[in-house]
Structure 1
Amino acid sequence: MPGENGAEPKRTSPRYPVLLVDDEESWLRSFQSALRASGVNNVVTLSDSRLVLETLERESFCAVAVDLMMPHISGEELIPKILSEYPELPLLVISGLDQVKTAVKCIRMGAFDFIVKTESRNTLIAGIKHAIEIFELRQENSSLRERLFSDDLLHPEYFEEIITTDKTMRTIFQYVEAIAESSRSVLVTGESGVGKEVIARAIHRASERSGEFVAVNMAGLDDNMVADTLFGHKKGAYTGATHARAGLVETASDGTLFLDEIGDLSLESQKKLLRLLQENEYTPLGSDISRKCTARVVAATHRDLNALQEQGKFRRDLFYRLRGHMLTLPPLRERLADLPLLIRYFAQEAAVEFDKPLKTDIPGIVRLLHGYDFPGNIRELRLFIHDAARMATGGRLTPETFEKLLHFDAQIRVGVGRDVPPSETLTFGAQLPSLKDARTMLIQEALKRTANNQSMAAQLLGVSRQAINKYLQSASDKNS
């Protein structure tokens, strides 16, 4: 709900609070401030150990840190009770002394970590953040198991922009719902045109973040443009910077920052992005004061980041930071059952755009397009349909219109719903081939006619693409 001044409340991180228990109130205040400065602003403190169990019973937490030496109920007495009643909750033990025996004893009981107060404040913060990450991973795994076994979507409206009945896509939707509440980054991979930005918007809707969804295409941006676009600048930061400008990281505060074509970043820009993800902070150009990032990063690429790493063109540490969660969208040729739905949707869209009614031969167009490989995927299909609608005479969308756009080879058209010319009939010699040999010759001929395109060869023969792939794998194994 909006605050008193009408603004949206600032997003708390993590979603469930961290509970700090220590009888030294000055240390609690100091450590709470340090956590808040590091981006962990959802912290509850208790100086009376007698209130711990009733607090845990009343409210959900993501981690708890308990001091060993306290009046009333000591940490040594309290810790086993917490571990017994809340085994899913990461518990950190706090001590003013570096007591090895005590630390080992606590870890054996089930404590997540042992924190010494005299250690570096960054070490203490890192321990708390690690506990939060473990809790969130457990929550996500539990949520994912529930969704996969139930096969239900809690909020199908989050995915209403995506036209599909494909099982793989539905599994992706379930995964998106499972990771929705996480603050960790998401890496979306897939060929150009499969809908990576559309799924990124669905991730944002599912997260129910109060901030905006902000998208930027990283392709073609040089190092200075990347820094200025993401981090902004102060007035006078460079020649021509006559006014201060907020970067997209700030614009996406408490929302989602979508970085498309992340594989095109230079190594220098990758280094700057790595700091943003590691420290959750950035510095506008011309400034010496860092700012906190509260946006969740969703990145996308059609490039093979593993191959780029091997070539030294993409940082391994950045790759692992980006893939806090990872999903890969299937190409359209692997979800051809969606063609009728997509054709109908885009035809209706084109009819509105060109302000003319369209009568669409969906079955005929589907038969034709089943023989096409769709290198540009859904984006390409949409452009085809809009172009065909523009060319359509008499308000009719027919297979013939698409043939002009696709320039189908005459031999390939034979396998996608056309009648075979009388001259193209099978002939046999004196000895008939075995079924196995005939199958081999048919597959080889289909691959020859389609320039080794497995999807189109499968359409010519009326079999699945997997059957062609299995044959090729079998032939390869025999030859090796």
Structure 2
Amino acid sequence: MKKILVVDDDPFLARTLELYFRGKGYEVLVSNAGRRGLEIWQKEDPDMILLDVQIPDLDGPDVLAKAKEEGLKGDVIMITAFHDTEATLKAIGAGAADYLYKPIDLNSLDLLLEKIVVQRKQRERLAKLSYVISESHKPDQIIGRSAATLEIIKAIVRVSQTPTSVLIEGETGTGKELVARTIHHAATPEEPFIAINCAAIVGNLLESELFGHEKGAFTGAVQRKIGKLEYAGQGTVFLDEIGELPLEFQAKLLRVLQEREFQRVGGVKTLPFNARVIAATNRDLGKMVEEKTFREDLYFRLKVFIIRIPPLRERREDIVPLTEYFLNRLNQEMHKRVCRIPNTYLKALEAYDWPGNVRELQNVLRRGLILSPNDVLELDEGCLHSSGPDKASDENRPDDILRSLEDVEREHISKVLRHTKWNYGEACKILGVTRPTLRKKINDYQLPIDLES
């Protein structure tokens, strides 16, 4: 790090910081206003920027936001007074590396500077040891390269050529609705796709929801309602979680599938039903038939063509392409530019069993993007381990060795900092302390910054 930009309208503080950094051998650029500071940032490409929250003509968070929009580089430390908490949070959310309170403590600044230098070296190292994600995936497509995924795609191609009913089986989060939508778009892309979560609709409302009702059919029916079966036209009705369908309603659904017609609740007119039915379940319907909780005749009517989606742990070859797909989509959604995954994280993703399947993978990556301040993915590794915390150090320590409270605190803070890779925000959450308190402890205990551990 060779060049530092200080943007602050306090001439005494700006001069102090200028002399301080020059004494450490840095080239120092100074501005007392936001727009001029942004111009210098654009022209000089500094390695680090100390940016005051409240400065003339364009405040610090807005300067940072514009710099990020233009793709300007450099680690940003916000300088703030205690009453600027809201603006500080806004700046951290926009990509500031950290912040310092006024009056500035030079010891804290030293620690922060050292931390940023080490983090920059780590990012450069990770960039060389990381997987660059592809941007070739199209939206809403089935992602994967495993043999199981290829078989699912083949099955979709076959069944989309006929109007037959389909039953999709798979654990929660495996992508059953995506498969249903893919069948629909391959067969009748211009027609409606009507999704119904059978577990989310109260039993006594289900008939009205699917079939519709006439005015006056029951208390509260003040006008005619068109049901979802009627809306579907010649498209697709997707019955998600079909195993949750009340037993008394199953007979009514069976009649619709057999006769291909229905009536609105309270109506006398028979309406044709021309849509394809795709049902999905995470339960064993065959076992439910044996237990008399699901009608056997409805089960056989639905399972004309079955597509089984294996859990993600049984098709690990799909994890990398799914990760690429979700990162691209989440980058757009969250206005991020994460394009590299450290190989250690990639191996952890591939080794994890994913009890929540594809949905859990998406949520882990979403949290990772929140934690990632630059183009390298940062993951909360704790969510990828099912085992408890490492207790080896405590178990191997003789019981008769009694240590001071100071030693215990020093070791614990050091352990938390190593675990969070010296991320002050995460460390403060775990320790339950403020940043100034954490910095004071680091200074008091003279803890060495080590991001390699």
TM-score calculated relative to the size of structure 2: 0.53
Q: Give the CA deviation at 1:175.
A: 1.8
1:390 match: secondary structure:
helix
- Check whether the contact 1:159–1:173 (CA below 8 A) recurs between aligned residues: no
Deviation at 1:320, TM superposition (A): 0.3
2:362 equivalent to 1:382: yes
Gaps of at least 5 residues in structure 2 are 1-136, 397-453
Q: Is 1:201 aligned to 2:181, yes or no?
A: yes
Check conservation: 2:191, 2:232, Cα contact below 8 A.
Answer: yes
Q: 1:179 to 1:232 in 2, by over 3 A?
A: same
**1:219 aligned residue:** 199
Is 1:308 the counterpart of 2:288? The answer is yes
Does 2:171 match 1:170? no
Checking the alignment, whether the CA contact within 8 Å between 1:343 and 1:362 is kept in structure 2 is no
In the superposition, relative to structure 1, how do residues 293 and 186 fare at CA in structure 2: closer, same or farther (>3 Å)? same
Note the alpha carbon deviations across 1:133-169, whole angstroms, 9 max, x for none.
xxxxxxxxxxxxxxxxxxxxxxxx9996111111222
Offset of residue 409 of structure 1: 2.8
Maintained 8 Å contact 2:229/2:237: yes
Determine if contact 2:352/2:385 at 8 Å carries over to the other structure. Answer: no
- Provide the secondary structure at the position in 1 that maps to 2:158: helix
The Cα shift of 1:356 comes to 2.3
CA offsets, 1:211-232, max 9 Å, x none? 2111111103233211111100
Asked whether the 8 Å contact 1:233–1:284 carries over to 2, the reply is yes
Q: 1:207 and 1:158, CA in 2 relative to 1: closer, same or farther beyond 3 A?
A: farther
Other structure's SS at 2:182 match: helix
The whole-number CA distance in structure 1 between the counterparts of 2:281 and 2:329 is 27
Q: Which residue of 1 aligns with 2:382?
A: 404
Secondary structure in 2 matching 1:282: strand
Does residue 1:370 correspond to 2:347, yes or no?
Answer: no
Which amino acid is the alignment partner of residue 405 of structure 1? C
Structure 1 residue ranges, 4+ long, deviating more than 4 angstroms after superposition: 157-160
**In the aligned structure 2, how far is the partner of 1:408 from the partner of 1:187?**
32
Q: Deviations over 1:253-303 (max 9, x none)?
A: 110110100000111111111111111111111112221101110000001
More relative contact order, 1 or 2 (CA 8 Å, 6+ apart): 2
User: Does the Cα contact within 8 Å between 1:158 and 1:206 map onto a contact in 2?
Assistant: no
**2:244 paired with 1:267:** no
Are 1:290 and 2:267 counterparts? Answer: no
RMSD: 2.5
2:314 equivalent to 1:340: no
Structure 1 distance, partners of 2:338, 2:164, is: 45
Amino acid at match of 1:404: G
Q: Which runs of 5+ in 1 are unaligned?
A: 1-156, 415-422, 424-480
Distance 1:261 1:392 in 2: 36
Letter in structure 2 aligned against 1:197: E
SS at match of 1:320: helix
C-alpha displacement at 1:233, in angstroms?
0.7
Paired with 2:223 and 2:269, the residues of 1 have a C-alpha distance of 18
Report how far residue 395 of structure 1 moved.
4.5
Aligned equivalents of 2:334 and 2:200: distance in 1? 33
**What is aligned with 1:331?**
311
**% identical equivalent positions:** 38
Which position in structure 2 is the counterpart of 1:322?
302
Counterpart residue number, 2:168:
188
Question: How many aligned residue pairs are there?
Answer: 257
- Report the secondary structure of 2:279's partner residue: strand
Deviations along 1:83-103, whole A, 9 cap, x unmatched? xxxxxxxxxxxxxxxxxxxxx
- Using the size of structure 1 for normalisation, the TM-score is 0.50
Alpha-carbon separation, structure 1, partners of 2:296 and 2:138: 32
